[in-house]
Structure 1
Amino acid sequence: MAASESYVASHLADSAAPGSMRHRAFPGGLNRYVLAGAEVIADLLTCVASLIAAYLVQRKVGGNLGYPLQRVLAIGAVQGLFAVLLLSASGAYGGCSSLMRIRETERAVRAAIQAALLLSFVVSILALQLPPMAVLVNVFLMPVLLIFQKQVTHSLTQALHVRGYGCKRAVIYGAGEAGRRITSTLLHSPKLGLQPVAVWSDGSVPASDGLSVLGYRRESAIPVRFEPLAASTLRSLRCNLLIMAEPHLSAAQFEEMKSIANQAGILVAFVSESAAHAEMQQSVADIDGVLLTSPHEHSTSWSYAFFKRAVDVFAATILLIGLSPVLCIVALLVRLSSPGPSLFIQRRVGRDGEFFDMYKFRTMVSDAPRYAVSPVTSSDPRLTSIGRVLRHLSLDELPQLINVLSGTMSLVGPRPEMPFIVATYNDHQRLRLRVKPGITGLWQLSAARAFPIHENIEYDLYYQRHRTFFMDIAILIHTIFFAVGGGI
């Protein structure tokens, strides 16, 4: 059983005796099946509700066409079945949530649109004569309802876990990059039924540090414990699973940790591959019974590149035209608030290390150093009064729509960094330069945006591994809600 994005492979031994290696069920297994079943039912009902709502809109706008509601219910059930099958095929019921639940939104949008379009085709073939307006409303409404329903389901499951229902307790050994990703994944994946209760240091972090959880807001940093791990401590924490989140444990260390877990009577899981190679996928070939594994980079299809560019051009054009009054007003306010130009042009590093000029509304005084660490607090003396407001509302980024049109940036992608910072990158950090930079992205939405990008590249590498057209749509949806929520 894997903890998904965190590269955990569990080798679950029966701890009744130290030498016994009989596999047994992963903690919370039954709970996961119950939750998955409940989620399937909720998805089915949501899809039926979407078609009923679309039908009622049709009746309200187009009048009563004499179309029986019973037939709408039957067609809605078929639509729900399509959506559930598509969601299941994409792994939506697997238990693990992704970083900031972006992939959950991606799956909901993709499955809803595909199911609605598939239903439209079936209705047309069978000549069921479903009102056209109802079909159109359904295509746009179902993704919205699915996203909302899944958010409610996620929140309810978390609330049950807070009260101690359906949740097992896990200890994480390792406070490095892998440990942080595992802890974050478990905290954001209530369907797994595993709650991290403590993190032990493997010596990779300073004693004064805590483990900051990846996510939208810096709501908590889990304290890291540094005393030797002992079976008595695990028993006192009433934990059910020990996760060794250190991919470079020696054989002796591994055996020692496994022995401690056996003495405590709990299961043990461990990281199966280095987080340093997290950006790589594995290609496996079976040659006459011999498995050969070779890492390869994530590649994107021509269709993804084509549609991504098409959406970039279309959306940037519409937004520049539609927001032109706002752009003019902001430019005027910047000029009136302090001496200097309205636009700030700065050289940034794009895809494959190429330089380009990035456009922003000026938020700092005109004599501030052009290339320096960006302000991280609103009290930074370099910021102007209007600049503080623009940064809080992210309006200073709007001129980058020009960059999107020119092709040097995309709507979604890693944030472009300044050359003097990129010059300090190591090989691992330079991996984030393999895709076109964007206005918004996972790092831009996270609490880590208050800290240096290269120290939090998990977000960018995650995006590189999983990027699809529907993931880009999901990130844009999360950006809208994030902006409405006022950020951190």
Structure 2
Amino acid sequence: MKRISTSHIVTLILVVSDVAAFVTIWFSMYYLRDYLAQVGIVSRPLNPIRNYVLALQVYLPLWLLCEWYHGNFDHQEKLTGLNQLSRILKTFIAGLVGSLAFAYLFKQWDIGRFVLLSTSFLYFLWLYFSRSLLKAWKQAMVMRGVGVINVLVIGVGRTARHVMDRIVNHPEGGYKLVGFVDPNPRRALRSLQGYPVLGTTRNLVRILQEHPVQQVFLAVPKMPQNEMMNLIVQCEDMGVQFKIVTNLFEVITSQVRVDVIDEVPVIHLRNAELPFIQAVLKRALDIVVASFLLVLFAPLMAGIALAIRLDSKGPALFKQVRVGKHGKLFEMYKFRTMYVDADPYAPAPTDPNDPRITRIGKWLRRYSLDEFPQLINVLKGEMSMVGPRPEMPFLVEQYEEWQRRRLDVKPGVTGLWQIVGRKNLPLALNLEYDFYYIKNQSLFFDIVILLKTIPAVIFGKGAF
């Protein structure tokens, strides 16, 4: 059974306390307004309390959603007071506008403006007070040595020394320097300004196993791409956060958060895993879209199958082994676009006049109609509507360690490679687009890609 972390407990406390505060403020303002009517300070009486109970079921989730969207539950980020207030103000504005919109839409409840506006303002004060209290408590705990983050710095140059100075001279930031890792195995450094050099990057996994490290800071401005990517993967596999001291590293194009240790900006590469709710919604979107397209284009697919059979000998459908999520092999379906004697695992055609392609195949490939049968793979759960390009096993065998991150998600019928350049792009660029999608995936992003795929397919952009 997975252990519940302190971070999850703090998040739960924030959510529960916010719910309790909102409900308390909501009904307190109702009874205050009702009392003002009873003593004659205001003339118009309020509607029955049951209207406000019903309305609470709309307004409370609305405010919680605004809080989540603007990061008010993300207590692990080290925010300045100004940044924290900015988030709370954005939540207040979004919540107030949403509340007024709902009041207009649900006029039958007739929610009083006094209750609505006073609740919004008092809840804003609650958010500011509760988050300020949490921040003060965390700083007090850090000064007592509780909740301190152990940091390992890769590098021994000027950038690494600058990071060390800021960590050592600002203990209130909550970081503790464990030591350094030297990227150059030919040096024989044992220590750096009193802190141990624990080894080289070749020994990073062993170092992480032997020392309690929560974060690794890369402070080597000109590290080769492959070496850097392998370090990132090793840290992710060990459950250690990997941060890059700017200059910015762009190759993995992940979701990033800029943290600041005093005046030192560092980049936090976030995990690619999709949240549970979004993963469920993504699967639901896959099933709905794939089913709809299969029904809508069933006559067209039947016509394509007939045309293939009339154009050349062989079956209309073509099956090929591809690599799916976590390296699992599956048979991907496509309409056959090449002659039956062509090697299905030979390099893909790079020329529209490739002699292996049939006459009808040229047309199918240009408009990506040969990929329609992949919708069956989507329904079977082997593919998603949006994801990286499904790859052949012999190519995956040549992947370096960091490139295997493409297998963290299901391959897709379409993706960024489909809408940006499709088959015009070299493999390296296709990989970069795949990594960008993996690290930035969301339900909204999937919908955008699906919509942008339509003109790319209609106009045959970059395909052959």
* Bigger Rg over Cα: 2
* Higher relative contact order (CA closer than 8 Å, sequence separation 6+): 1
**TM-score after normalising by structure 2:** 0.47
